[in-house]
Structure 1
Amino acid sequence: MKKFLSFLTALALGVCIFMSPISIFADSKTTGATNLPDQIRLTWTQDPTTTQTITWRTDTTVNSGQIQYGKDPSLKGAKTINATVQKFSSDLGDMNIHSATLTDLEPGTKYYYRVGYGNNFSSIYSFTTEAKDTNSFKFLIFGDSQSGIATDPQYGPWKTTIQNAFNANKDAKFFINVGDLVEIGQMYAHWNNWFDAAKGVIDTIPEMPVEGNHETYQSSNYNSGKPKDFVNLFPVPQNGPDGLKGQVYSFDYGNAHIVMLDSQEDEEEGVSGDILESQKAWLDKDLSSTNKTWKIVFFHKTPYYNKATRSNEQLKAAFQPIIDKYHIDVVFNGHDHGYSRTYPIKNDQYVKSPADGTVYIVTGRSGNKYYPDLSKKVWDAFFYDPQDQPNYIVATINGNTLTIKAVKQDGTPIDTYSITKNPDGTETDSPVTVVPTKYNATMLTIYGNMLQQPFMPSNPKQINGKWYVPARAFMQYLGSNVDWNANGTINITYGKTQANIAIGSTTAQLNSKTLSIPDAVVSDSGLTWISADDLKALFGFNYKYNSNTNMLMFVK
C-alpha cells in the first residue's frame, strides 16, 4: 500500500516523462534470447588487476558456453575457458545465463575475447585490466536510467546518454549506475532494452551497479520483493553481508575503495528484514579494513534530497555515523533525478572543509524520467534540475586529487568540483567551500526548504522556552490548512489527519480521539502559533535547532 500511495503521489505531482513511441518490446511475450550470445557484459567479482568476469545469455537450447581470449586482436593462439551455465526464469520465459571469470591476467594489459559455443560465437570484443599500482584513472557515473513508464520500456534516452558519455571518455575504466537501472526490475522487457542501449560500452568496460528501489519491483503494479533479476544479471564481489550478497559489496580500484550499499529498507523489509541494521556492522568492518587514499560510497536513496517532501531520515541515521567515523570523501546517490552537491557535512551539519566532512552528490538522471518538484535545499552548495536532457558524471582520480564533473547528455558542462589531499593532512577544494553565514533571525525550514517572507508572516520564536511556528504558514506549505471555528477552536488538517484544538488547551481531538499534547496553541499578534513538539505529537514531524545557522528544521 505504501508503494501504491507513493505512486499516486508522484502522479499528483505531475511526474514528467519524455513521451516516446512504444518500444518494440512493449508487447513481447518472448525473452528475445536465441542460440547466439547476446547481452554480453563485463563486471568484476575479483581483483581488477588480474581478473575479468564476463557474462552473457542464450536461449535454453545452449547448455554450454566458452570464452576465448588473448592479446592478439584476431585471437590467434587464444586460450579457452568454460563458463558456468544457469537457467534464469523471467516473466517472459526462461533463458540461460553464462558466466566465467578469467584469472591470472597481466595488469594494465588489453585483451581480446569472444563468447559462445560450437559454431555460435559472438564478435570479438576487448577489455583492459587495471594497471598495477595505478593512482590515476577515470570512471563514469549514471543516475537513474529507468524508462519512467512500467508498460513502455523506453530506453532511448539512456542509450544516448551512455553512448555519448563513453564516446567522450574512451579512457574510462568502468562505470556505475546508482540504482533504478530499469523501471520494473522483474519485467524483462525493460532489461532487454537496457542492455541493448548499453551495447558497445558494457562489453568493453565493466559495469559495477547499485541496486535501486525499482529493481525490487515485481510487476507493473509496483509491488516489491527481492531484486531477483538484478542479482542474477550482474555478477559482483560476494563480500557483502549474509542475505544481501550481490546487493551490497565493495571493491578496490587504484588508490580508491568503493562501497555499494542497499538503501531499499521500505521495499525489502517484508522479505529481508531490517537490511539497514544488517549492513551497519558490515560497513564498519569493511571501512576499517581499507587504507586507500580515497573512500567513496554509493547507495540509491538520498539522505540529502531534492524532492519537495521526500526524506530518508532512517537511512541517514543508519549510515551517516559510520560515514563520519571513517571520513568518507564522497557519497553518491540517485533516486531524485536532479543533480546536487552539498557542502561538506559531518554529524548532519555542514562544515567548512572536505577535510572535516563528506560531500554528498545526487547524480541526476541518465534516462527518461524527471520530476517537477525539485529544488535547491539549504545544505546544497550547487543544484541543477536536468529538465531539458539527461546527464552523467565523469569522476577522475589523479593521485591525491579527485575531480567530479557533471555533464549534460550533449556534453554541456553542469558542474565541476575537486578535492585535493595535501601532504600536511589538510584538504582543499575547488570551488572553495563557503558555508552560509549564521542568520540573524531564526529561519524555518521544512524538508530542507527555507520559508521566507511574504510566505512566512513571522519567524519561529520561543515561548516559555519552547519553539513555536505560525500554524497556517507551516500547514499551507505542506498543502494543508488551518481553519477557525465559531466556538473558538481551530482545525489543523494534514493529509487524512485532522486535529481540533482550543486556543490555550493542551488537549486535542485527533481524528475524533482525545489526545494530550505537550504545549498549548497560542494566539499572539494576530497569528496562531503551534509548538514544534505539538507538530511532532500530532503529525509526526521531527525537528532540530541548528545553532550554527540559526535554523529550526522540520522533517518527517
Structure 2
Amino acid sequence: MKRFLSFITALAMVLFIFTVQSPIFADSNSTGATSLPDHITLTWTQDPTTTQTITWRTDTTVNLGQVQYGKDPSLKDAKIVDATVQKFSSDLGDMNIHSATMTNLDPGTTYYYRVGYGNNLNSIYSFTTEAKDTNSFKFLIFGDSQSGIATDPQYGPWKATIHNAYSTNKDSKFFVNVGDLVEIGQLYTHWNNWFDAAKGVIDAIPEMPVEGNHETYQSSNYDSGKPKDFVSQFPVPQNGPDSLKGQVYSFDYGNAHIVMLDSQEDEEETVSGDILEAQKAWLDKDLKSTNKTWKIVFFHKTPYYNKATRSNEQIKAAFQPIFDKYHIDVVFNGHDHGYSRTYPIKNDQYVKNPADGTVYVVTGRSGNKYYPDLSQKVWDAFFYDPQDQPNYIVATINGNTLTIKAVKQDGTPIDTYSITKNPDGTETDSPQTVIPTKYNATMVTIYGNMLQQPFMPSNPKQINGKWYVPARAFMQYLGSNVDWNANGTISITYGKTQANLNISSTKAQLNSKTLAIPDAIVLNNGLTWISADDLKALFGFSYKYDSNTNMLMFVK
C-alpha cells in the first residue's frame, strides 16, 4: 500500500508540473484550440493583386486578433490590421475563428506576417501577391483528400501529397481542393487532422476550395445538411448566388477566369432547395462578363465519370449548355478518385479540337480513399486508376498555353496535356486529339462502358423503328438477371425492382402492380430482346443514339 501511495503521489507531482509548465496543455480544450493561433489559412476574398485574406482559430478566451505584416522579414515597422472574430460551434465544442484582409498591397510583392494578439503570436510566415498583368503562373489541384472512414480521421496520405506537391512546385501561386476535403464535414476531428497535415503550405499559398458532398455530412451516419464547417473556415469571394455564398464563387488570376460551383443537389436540396437552378442564371451572367483568355471551372461531382454505375446526368444537364455557350476550356472534377481526361466535348458529343469543346478532367485522389470499380469510359482520351498511391495535378498557364500535368504522390508522371490558343483563333493540343472512328456495327454502352462480344451476343438493332438490346446480357452486366418462368412469363430483377412480362404484351407487372409499357418483349434468333423505351419505363434508364460514333448509350 505504501508503494502504491508513493506511486500516486509521484504521478500527481508529474501531472502538476506538466500542467503548470505547459501553456498548451493549460489552455487547450476538447476542440484542440488554444490561446495560440493555429489552422492559419490563406484565401482570397478580393483582388489577388492587392489583397490577402488570412484566417485562423483560437479557443474562446481570445476575443481579439490582429495581423502584423510588412515587407521586412523581421516585421520591423509592421502594419497592423484587426481581425473579425466569430464564435464557431463544432461537435467538439466552441472556438473562435479570426479573419482579416490586408488591402492596398503592392502587386508581385512578398509580404511577411504573423497573427494573434498580445503575447499569443504565431511564427512569421510569408505570402506573395499576384504580379500585375501576369499571364504566366502555376497552381496545384488536389482531388479528394478525405480519410475514407468516418471513425478513422487518417490524413497522413493527404499530408504527404500536399507537401510533396508543394516542395517540388514552390513557384505555385495557389491551390485548389476539388471537394471532399474531409470525410465528415461536421466532425471536427477530421478538420483538425486535415489542417495539421496542410500546415506549411496552406499558410504560404492561398487555398481556393470547392465544396464536396462529404462537406455536407453532419455525423458518422452520413446524414447531410448545410456545409457550415466548410463555409466558416474558408473565406472566399462573396460573389455567388445569394443562397450559396461561400459555396459558389469566381475570381480572376492573371489571364484566367476561375469558377467554383456546388454540385451537391442530392445532399442540399432539403435545406437549400434546387441549388442547380439557383446557379444557372448566376453562371451565365458570370461567364458573360469575363474577357479573360482562359475560362476554367471546378466542381465536385463528375459529368464524365470513372465509377462503374454512378452518373451525374442532372448536373451535366444543368451546367453543360452554359459551358458550351461560353466555351469553357477545362472543367475539373473530383468525387470518383480516378484520373481521367476526356476528348473535347460539346453538346455531350466528342469534337476533334479543343477550340470546339470542353475537356473534362477527373482529378484523382490526394488522400486515403480509393475505389475498386473504376474504368476507362468511351469518352476518355486518357485514364489512370490511382490505387497504388495518391496523386496531384500541376496546372501551368504560360500566355496562350495551358498545361495540365498529373503526377503521382512520389513524383512519377501520369499524364501531360496542353492546349494552345493560336492568334488566328484556332487551337492546338498536345497530344493531339484523335477521336474514335465511327463503328460499323451499332455498339451499346452502359454508364460509358462498351459491351462487346462474347458478353454481348448480338449488337443492338432496330425493330419497327425502335431500338432493342438483348435483355439477358444487358441485365447481367448490371448484376441482375432475366429468367423464364414455368408459366411462360419472363422475370427481370434489378435491385429492388422486379418486372414480370409476357411475350407480345405491352403490359407488365412491376413489383406486383400492373404497368403499361411502350413495347412488347420480342423473341428473335434465340434471344430475348427488350426495347430501350421499355428499359426506361421499367427501370429508369435514359438513352440516346449517337450517330457520330454509332453507339446506343444508356445511363441512369
* Smaller-chain TM-score bracket: over 0.9
C-alpha distance in 2 between matches for 1:319 and 1:86: 35
Partner of 1:109: 109
- Residue 486 of structure 1: CA displacement? 1.7
Partner of 1:188: 188
Contact 2:29 2:59 in 1 (8 A): no
Within 5 Å, which residues of 2 pair with 1:112-511? 112-511=112-511
Once the two structures are superposed, residues 268-305 of structure 1 have per-residue CA deviations (whole angstroms, 9 ceiling, x without a partner) of: 00000000000000000000000000000000000000
Contact 2:255 2:293 in 1 (8 A): yes
- Residue 221 of structure 1: CA displacement? 0.3
Quickly say closer, same or farther: Cα 1:237–1:454, change in 2 above 3 A.
same
C-alpha distance in 2 between matches for 1:535 and 1:73: 67
DSSP-derived class of the 2:355 partner: coil
- Residue 487 of structure 1: CA displacement? 1.6
- Residue 158 of structure 1: CA displacement? 0.1
- Residue 488 of structure 1: CA displacement? 1.4
Partner of 1:41: 41
C-alpha distance in 2 between matches for 1:488 and 1:463: 22
Partner of 2:15: none
Q: Which runs of 4+ in 1 moved over 3 A?
A: none
Structure 1: which 5+ residue stretches go unaligned?
A: 1-27
C-alpha distance in 2 between matches for 1:359 and 1:333: 11
Greater radius of gyration (CA): 2
Partner of 1:14: none
Within 5 Å, which residues of 2 pair with 1:80-91? 80-91=80-91
DSSP-derived class of the 1:355 partner: helix
Structure 2 counterpart of 1:258, one-letter code: I
C-alpha distance in 2 between matches for 1:238 and 1:513: 51
Structure 1 counterpart of 2:367, one-letter code: G
DSSP-derived class of the 2:243 partner: coil
C-alpha distance in 2 between matches for 1:497 and 1:86: 50
- Residue 485 of structure 1: CA displacement? 1.1
- Residue 504 of structure 1: CA displacement? 1.1
Structure 2 counterpart of 1:490, one-letter code: I
Aligned residues: CA RMSD: 0.7
Partner of 1:10: none
C-alpha distance in 1 between matches for 2:544 and 2:536: 11
Contact 2:400 2:420 in 1 (8 A): yes
- Residue 341 of structure 1: CA displacement? 0.1
Contact 2:83 2:98 in 1 (8 A): yes
Quickly say closer, same or farther: Cα 1:365–1:555, change in 2 above 3 A.
same
- Residue 96 of structure 1: CA displacement? 0.5
Q: Does 1:97 align with 2:97?
A: yes
C-alpha distance in 1 between matches for 2:381 and 2:531: 30
Partner of 1:518: 518
Structure 1 counterpart of 2:40, one-letter code: I
Once the two structures are superposed, residues 363-419 of structure 1 have per-residue CA deviations (whole angstroms, 9 ceiling, x without a partner) of: 000000000000000000000000000000000000000000000000000000000
Q: Does 1:56 align with 2:56?
A: yes
C-alpha distance in 1 between matches for 2:197 and 2:184: 16
DSSP-derived class of the 1:243 partner: helix
Contact 2:490 2:501 in 1 (8 A): yes
Structure 2 counterpart of 1:550, one-letter code: N
DSSP-derived class of the 1:530 partner: strand
TM, length-normalised to structure 1: 0.95
Structure 1 counterpart of 2:327, one-letter code: H
C-alpha distance in 2 between matches for 1:29 and 1:462: 69
Q: Does 1:544 align with 2:549?
A: no
Contact 2:144 2:335 in 1 (8 A): yes
- Residue 31 of structure 1: CA displacement? 0.5
Structure 2: which 5+ residue stretches go unaligned?
A: 1-27
Contact 2:350 2:435 in 1 (8 A): yes
C-alpha distance in 2 between matches for 1:303 and 1:199: 32
- Residue 128 of structure 1: CA displacement? 0.1
C-alpha distance in 2 between matches for 1:127 and 1:163: 17
C-alpha distance in 1 between matches for 2:337 and 2:254: 29
Structure 2 counterpart of 1:254, one-letter code: G
DSSP-derived class of the 1:378 partner: coil
- Residue 29 of structure 1: CA displacement? 8.0
Structure 2 counterpart of 1:256, one-letter code: A
C-alpha distance in 1 between matches for 2:537 and 2:116: 63
Once the two structures are superposed, residues 69-116 of structure 1 have per-residue CA deviations (whole angstroms, 9 ceiling, x without a partner) of: 000000011111111111000000000011000000000000000001
Partner of 1:5: none
Partner of 2:4: none
Structure 2 counterpart of 1:115, one-letter code: V
- Residue 38 of structure 1: CA displacement? 0.5
Partner of 1:6: none
C-alpha distance in 2 between matches for 1:510 and 1:84: 59
- State the percentage of identical aligned residues: 90
Partner of 2:17: none
Structure 2 counterpart of 1:143, one-letter code: G
C-alpha distance in 1 between matches for 2:54 and 2:543: 49
C-alpha distance in 2 between matches for 1:187 and 1:231: 14
C-alpha distance in 2 between matches for 1:130 and 1:150: 38
How many pairs were matched up? Answer: 529
DSSP-derived class of the 1:291 partner: coil
- Residue 161 of structure 1: CA displacement? 0.1
Quickly say closer, same or farther: Cα 1:29–1:498, change in 2 above 3 A.
farther
- Residue 162 of structure 1: CA displacement? 0.1
